[in-house]
Each structure stands twice: as C-alpha cells, then as structure tokens.
Amino acid sequence: MPLIVQLLLFCLGLAFGSFLNVITLRYSPDRGFYHKEHFTGRSHCPHCHKILSWYELIPLASYMIQLGRCRVCQKRLTVQYPIVELTSGLMFLYIPLVIKNLFTFTGPNYAWYWGAASFIWIVAFLFLLAAFIIDIRHYVIPNSVNITLFAVSIIWIGIGIYMGAFSDVYKASFLKQFSAVFPSFSSIVLNHIFGAVVALLFFLALFIFSRGRAMGMGDVKLMGALGLLFGWPDIVPIMLLSFIIGAVVSVVLIASGKKKMTDKVPFGPFIVIATAIIFFFGAGLLSAYFGIIGL
Ligand SMILES: [Zn+2]
C-alpha cells in the first residue's frame, strides 16, 4: 500500500475512534446504541460542560497538547480518548493488510473487492470496540450492537462468496492448514451457520449453568454473531482464548486487590481481545504453539 494511503487510512481511523468515544461515553443502558442524542450536539467537557472548539477535538493531538486535561477547568480527561483513537487508527491501517493476506480476490475488480472486504471487517471491529468499551463501563452489550454484528456477518458471507474470497479454503481460514484438523462442511454458508450455532449453544449452556454469573446474555449473542462472522472452525480458538484471557485477567485483578472474588467482571472484553488476537495473529500463533509441542 502506498504511504499516502496508509496515512489517510490511519487518520480516518483516528477520526472514527474519536466518534466512537463520543457515542460510547454518551451511551446509557436505558437507551439503545443508535439513540439520536449519541450522534447530535456539540462535544463538551464532562466536568465543566464547556463546549469544545475544533482544535480541542483533534484526535490524539488535543489530548497530548493539553496533557490529558480540560483547557478550562484543568480536570483530568479519561485516557479512553487517546487509547480508542489510536486503536481505531491502527485497525484502519492493519485490517486491510490482514484481509489481503487471508482471502483470495482475483480478476480486474481485485482492488474493489479488497477494499469492500476491508471495509466490512473494519465496520465489524468498530462495533467490537464499542462492545468492549460499553461492557467495561456498563456491564452490558447493547442488543443493537449485537444485531449490527449479525447483519455485518450476513453481508460478509454474501459479498465474500460473490467476490470469491473463500475460494482457497485454507488460505481463507484464520487457522490456515490447521483448520483441516476439524471436520467441516463443504458449503461456506453451512460452516458459518454451524459456527454461529456452536458458539451460541456453548455460551448459552454456560450462561444457564452458571446462572448468569460467568457471563450475560449479551456475551452469548456476541459469541453467536462472531460464530457467524468467522465460521466453523475458526470460532473454536476464539472461544478457547476468551476463557484463557478471562481466567488470567480475573486472577490478576483479584491478586492485585482491584476486584474481589464476588465482584462482577464483564466477559465481553475477553471475547473482543480473543477475536482481535485470532484475526491479527491467528495462524502465526498456532504454528508457534504446535511447533513448541512438536507437532
Ligand atoms: Zn472542563
């Protein structure tokens, strides 16, 4: 990719990250993700309510120049601002590269197909980032976010098949050659539906047996949407990894005294981190792992 395109993508990502901050910080569980008040009205300081000017709204730069404080009242601004902006910027930059390595697009429309596929996955990850932030802040994943992710998954399966993205089965899998370990259907649509059903039922069972203590219904729906997006068997390592990350983080939180055994820990962020790890590093990680255990 030319440097100028990379720079544009990164800046576009920063802008979307800034937008995502506004929506997720305005969100409250009594109204949906798409409530119009999340999208209208000028941004203001959460402490002194001063309306922010354009030069206080520049992603990353404003926060750094103001040393993380409001220019008027000098109170601290949440570190969520620069973290989410940077994360979104890097997503816009790196998702197209993963997509290019992973899926096959051939013919004269190659660039359009690559662009369309990257766009769909960027949208998916923006909503995953929203789920991550809102679950940490409110212990809930909005239905509207999960429904959007289901819709994005259906669009991806349809458009992906049309563009021939899955024509090389092993290349199109985040698990590469290791996907052959799992028996699967020859139909791409069936594999994606099966991934959704397995993820949904497995997490639903955990929800029921833990009486909602291990995770909430929001996590069950999120896992179902991801099962549809990633398909079978790619959803399997995402599920496993979310438990491993959840266990490690919970132990650290309890050991460091930040949480008590009885405290609630949102599970959504673990699912989102596991998804990102498999998306960005999936095949490489598995090769390293199987290399270590000597397979
Ligand atoms: Zn202020």
Q: Among 51, 71, 93, which residue terminates a domain?
A: 93
Could you tell me the residue range of the domain that residue 272 belongs to? Answer: 103-295
Q: What is the pLDDT of residue 117?
A: 96
C-alpha of residue 56 to centroid of ligand 1, in Å: 11
Q: Give per-residue pLDDT as tens, 133-189.
A: 999 999 999 999 999 999 999 999 999 999 999 988 888 888 877 778 888 888 999
Ligand 1 centroid from CA 41, angstroms? 17
Could you say which of 64, 93, 122 is where a domain stops? 93
Is the same domain home to 76 and 208?
no
179, 264: one domain: yes
CA 76 to ligand 1 centroid distance, Å: 8
Low-confidence ranges of the chain (pLDDT < 70): 293-295
Neighbours of 277 (CB within 10 A): 16
The answer, yes or no, to whether the previous bond of 269 is cis (omega within 30 of 0) is no
What's the pLDDT at 107? Answer: 85
Mention every residue, 6+ apart, whose C-beta is less than 8 A from residue 186: none
Asked if residue 40 and residue 186 are part of one domain, the reply reads no
* Together in a domain, 168 and 130: yes
Q: How far is CA 226 from CA 66, 251, 269, in A?
A: 38, 26, 13
Same domain, 156 and 214: yes
**29 lies in some domain:** yes
pLDDT of amino acid 6? 95
User: What does the pLDDT read at residue 294?
Assistant: 58
Residue 293's pLDDT is what? 64
98 within domain boundaries: no
Say how many domains are in the chain.
Answer: 2
Give domain status of residue 268, yes or no.
Answer: yes
Structural domain contains residue 237: yes
What's the gap in Å between 269 CA and the centre of ligand 1? 29
Asked if residue 88 and residue 161 are part of one domain, the reply reads: no
Say yes or no: 34 and 131 in one domain: no
CB of 239 closer than 8 Å to CB of 223: yes
pLDDT of 168 reads 85
Task: Please answer whether residues 130 and 23 qualify as being in contact, where contact means their C-beta atoms are separated by less than 8 angstroms.
Answer: yes
